[in-house]
Structure 1
Amino acid sequence: MRWLTDPAYRPGALIFQRGIAVIYLMGFLCAAYQFRALAGERGLTPVPVYLRRVSFRRAPSIFQFHYSDRFFAVVAWSGVALSATVLAGLADVVPLWTSMLLWAVLWVLYLSIVNVGQVWYGFGWESLLCEAGFLTIFLGNARTAPPVLVLWLLRWLLFRLEFGAGLIKMRGDRCWRDLTCLYYHHETQPMPNPLSWYFHRLPKPLHRVEVAANHVTQLIVPFGLFAPQPYATVAAAIVIVTQFWLILSGNFAWLNWITAILATSVVDWRAIARTLGLPDLPRPTAEPVWHQALVIAVTALAVVLSYWPARNLISQRQRMNASFNPLHLVNSYGAFGSITKTRYEVVIQGTEDPEPGPDSEWREYEFNGKPGDPRRRPRQFAPYHLRLDWMMWFAGLSSVYAEPWIVPLTEKLLQNDRPTLRLLRRNPFPDAPPAVVRARLYRYRFTTWRERRETGRWWDRRLVREYLPPIGLRPTAGAAR
């Protein structure tokens, strides 16, 4: 059944697989360094507590059988090591069944983390990595021709990702339809990067052009992914260029990176190599029959599971970043259906005064990525994902997002808890913990060109209100206002 494979796409498949290995590596590194403080045994939302009320069927994970911080560290660092070896090419020098096993282990380990990660792993790119990682298992290695059916499933994934994002915008905030969303987005996005201030200060007519180009890329170009070559390559190239524009303007973890990586699987790299006069790669062998049978079975499963995301795409009540099964296969995607027009930031402060008064000195905790000190320039972290910083952005939108973890966070700060402090950029109480901690809500905006020159500040901020009242080490039950 030679029609089931296409050797011409082996270069693209290899590039795609290396890219997925990089994203896996980043995901496992984030887990190794952050998970203990966020959801470990003594974390802000402890996994053992979560597992007592969630069944294996609802959240399949190896941690359903056993969880400890030490065991989690073994899993996370094993994922780091395996990702690195696959990135180095291990999967291409072993037999096909071994290569598939390596990719399958990566998928199982990361799915296990996602399914117990709770709010810290509720982002769309987690499901995206799970779905793309699952398809990677069946893509073969350098010795085999890539299966055509898997290549089409990757295109179907990229189509849902881009077209779903386009539809959610057109159905959502009016500013997407009147082309004004980028008047606000670069300033109010979850985590600006070093160039976001400059993007925000671009002329408004150019912002309107950006939005219009975004609509073309997400609502028209995705259909070109299913066209014959070279049109599919052109469509994929447009997606890649657009994603790098987004990478330049913001910190969206690995969302833009994995989208660009997906698009590389569509590109006809062999035709490009011939155009450039480069030597062709050795012709891979055909897949064994057992592998072809597996690919057909997986394709049939994907077709069945596609019913729910396809129905979601045409629904007027389209859901954004929704998984319809606990394995996170064939999901719906989309982002920024509504745009925040005003930026609010929760600023956490502490004092050594056990009974704070008007004259008490309050010192601020600094986070790595989220805005804090108005003089500090936004930093670049993506594709690394600062999970607490992102959730702090959501907390500024509504205290509902912060209810499960904001009070536990203040309690950890009152104890100078080391794992928690490792998530921060600066602890203003290095010698002894504060006596009292509070949180205040500020309105942030980017400074103008003139303000930037005169003050050296990237941000201007104004106090809005108290967010969390002062809490001591033994506070009475409280909640964010």
Structure 2
Amino acid sequence: MHGFAAVDFEFARQVLQRGIAALYIVAFTSSLNQFPALLGERGLLPVPELLSWARSSKRARRMLHPTVFRFATYSDRRLVALCIAGIAIAAALVAGIPQLAPPWVPMLCFLLLWVGYMSIVSVGQTFYSFGWEILLLEAGFLAAFLGSDDQPPSTVVIVPFWWLVFRLEFGAGMIKIRGGREWRDLTALTFHHETQPMPGPLSRQAHLLPRWFHKLEVVGNHFAQLVVPWFLFAPLLGLGVPGPVPAIIGAFAAAIVIGTQLWLVATGNFAWLNWATIVLAFSAIGLPGLRLGERPIAEPVDAPPWLIDGIPLPWLIATTVLGALYVVLSWQPIRNLFAHRQLMNASFNRWQLANAYGAFGTVTKERIEIVVEGTTDEDPDAGTWHEYGFKGKPGDVNRIPRQFAPYHLRLDWLMWFLPLGHSLDDWFTAFLVKLLEADSATLRLLADDPFGGAPPVWIRAVAYRYRFTTRAQLRESGARWTRDGRRPVLGPLRLRG
């Protein structure tokens, strides 16, 4: 650190700008492929109906977060155009093209990504209710003020990134300590690898590790989330303490965060949550030897008055305003971190900045999967039933779970939440109707349509308890899962007429 200029964090800025932009590519691609079927004009929860409700009263309008679709009538075509534009802008940022221009250019690009994706999240309803949505929005807003390659990044922009990582990690740690007993008695990860929303190809192997290892995992998690985040701010000591020690402490803390997140990447499918945390953690890694050009650490005596620590005065004012804004907005998330009833993945303002984060305050002890089946027989009691296959969630017991993260399979994730609720959600009933209609957009969300695009006569939902097979069971049967405890959930159902 050197005054207003974070001259040692050029590498951090490059990772932040390009990494956050890459995550926006993933997010817009996910929306491009799934939004029309889930929330489009003929989707499960149509956005036009939501917007019509929002226009019905002032109170309803206030409840809807900012979105461009309040001013331009929603259509699937406009949604596609928005996603393609977002992907193009984000790709330019990944390539580093806007960063070659004055700082206002990359700022405009990131703000366009922020506004564009917020417009989608604001109308995304339950399909966009995940914590990593608001995390990406906040990261994109902060990235807008990282500047361009011809000047050092500003200290008052780098520090809010550390504060974001702190809220993300420490908030998750506090949620766990206050949550289920399994986090306090160190048994949480004995279950988690098997019961997590969408297991990956290595989740079964992780589940089969010894119990002592799972307890060590929990201890390591508590250390990484409750202790380590405090040391992310160590580089600030470099403003008054000579030598590399403060920077080394901050970089070591960031490395621990990155390492634990890579373990989660290897053993699960949490969309871009882990990858976003990894990218953001790089904000605390300072490399003193890596600076663009020959930028001096201190300005010469005859430096122009509009250049302070290598940063143009207008840009310095803009970033200082950002820092002041975050000081004001941070009061509520600070209170929340230490509140008795801590909120998880919550926004305290309409622009979804300085949010509260957290995940898995409790861990489910058994995995219940809802399986959707259909038949073309007229008599459902004597019919032959065939199972619909999902892309990510467990179904076929012989299939190895696939790695999809950072891509987000929204339908598969919500299928995991269904057994945890007290009743079936409206979107699920609409989903079954779409299957009875053999809706092509809905079928594209699935991995396997047993009827080849033809509509079934009857459809139903049943529940099973899923468990990973042991090593002996795998050798004997070749199956990765075993399932039992079958019970009816809904149906059989058919379309009237």
Give TM-score, length-normalised by structure 1: 0.94
Once the two structures are TM-superposed, the CA of residue 302 in structure 1 deviates from its matched residue by 1.3
Once the two structures are TM-superposed, the CA of residue 246 in structure 1 deviates from its matched residue by 0.6
Contact 2:463–2:486 (CA under 8 A) maintained in structure 1 = yes
Matched residue, 1:317: 341
Question: Aligned pair 1:270/2:309, yes or no?
Answer: no
Question: Aligned pair 1:235/2:246, yes or no?
Answer: no
Unaligned runs of 5+ in 1: 274-279, 476-481
Looking at structure 2, the residues matched to 281 and 56 of structure 1 have their Cα atoms a distance apart, in angstroms, of 47
Question: Aligned pair 1:130/2:160, yes or no?
Answer: no
Aligned counterpart in structure 2 of residue 59 of structure 1, from 54, 58, 65: 65
Looking at structure 1, the residues matched to 288 and 29 of structure 2 have their Cα atoms a distance apart, in angstroms, of 33
Looking at structure 1, the residues matched to 323 and 178 of structure 2 have their Cα atoms a distance apart, in angstroms, of 31
Question: Aligned pair 1:176/2:190, yes or no?
Answer: no
Number of corresponding residues: 465
Which AA in structure 2 matches 1:417? D
Once the two structures are TM-superposed, the CA of residue 89 in structure 1 deviates from its matched residue by 1.2
Give the alignment's Cα RMSD to 1 decimal. 1.4
Contact 2:200–2:268 (CA under 8 A) maintained in structure 1 = yes
Deviation readout 1:38-85 (Å, 9 max, x if unpaired): 100110001111112235543110011121000110001111111111
Matched residue, 1:249: 267
Looking at structure 1, the residues matched to 285 and 111 of structure 2 have their Cα atoms a distance apart, in angstroms, of 25
Looking at structure 2, the residues matched to 106 and 287 of structure 1 have their Cα atoms a distance apart, in angstroms, of 25
Aligned counterpart in structure 1 of residue 356 of structure 2, from 321, 328, 332: 332
Looking at structure 1, the residues matched to 355 and 437 of structure 2 have their Cα atoms a distance apart, in angstroms, of 40
Contact 2:26–2:407 (CA under 8 A) maintained in structure 1 = yes
Looking at structure 2, the residues matched to 354 and 222 of structure 1 have their Cα atoms a distance apart, in angstroms, of 61
Matched residue, 1:109: 116
Q: 1:28 to 1:283 in 2, by over 3 A?
A: farther
Once the two structures are TM-superposed, the CA of residue 103 in structure 1 deviates from its matched residue by 1.1
Which AA in structure 2 matches 1:207? H
Contact 1:7–1:283 (CA under 8 A) maintained in structure 2 = no
Once the two structures are TM-superposed, the CA of residue 95 in structure 1 deviates from its matched residue by 2.0
Contact 2:51–2:70 (CA under 8 A) maintained in structure 1 = yes
Looking at structure 2, the residues matched to 6 and 213 of structure 1 have their Cα atoms a distance apart, in angstroms, of 31
Once the two structures are TM-superposed, the CA of residue 464 in structure 1 deviates from its matched residue by 3.5
Q: 1:56 to 1:91 in 2, by over 3 A?
A: farther
Which AA in structure 2 matches 1:460? T
Which AA in structure 1 matches 2:420? L
Matched residue, 1:152: 159
Identify the range of structure 1 (56-65 vs 68-77) with the bigger mean alpha-carbon deviation. Answer: 56-65
Looking at structure 1, the residues matched to 354 and 280 of structure 2 have their Cα atoms a distance apart, in angstroms, of 14
Identity of aligned residues (%): 50
Matched residue, 2:378: 354
Once the two structures are TM-superposed, the CA of residue 321 in structure 1 deviates from its matched residue by 0.7
Question: Aligned pair 1:222/2:229, yes or no?
Answer: yes
Once the two structures are TM-superposed, the CA of residue 463 in structure 1 deviates from its matched residue by 3.4
Unaligned runs of 5+ in 2: 55-59, 235-245, 296-308
Give TM-score, length-normalised by structure 2: 0.91
Question: Aligned pair 1:427/2:438, yes or no?
Answer: no
Looking at structure 2, the residues matched to 331 and 187 of structure 1 have their Cα atoms a distance apart, in angstroms, of 30
Deviation readout 1:336-359 (Å, 9 max, x if unpaired): 0000000000100000023311x2
Secondary structure, aligned partner of 2:369: strand
Secondary structure, aligned partner of 1:225: helix
Once the two structures are TM-superposed, the CA of residue 396 in structure 1 deviates from its matched residue by 2.2
Contact 2:376–2:458 (CA under 8 A) maintained in structure 1 = yes
Question: Aligned pair 1:343/2:367, yes or no?
Answer: yes
Looking at structure 2, the residues matched to 455 and 444 of structure 1 have their Cα atoms a distance apart, in angstroms, of 15
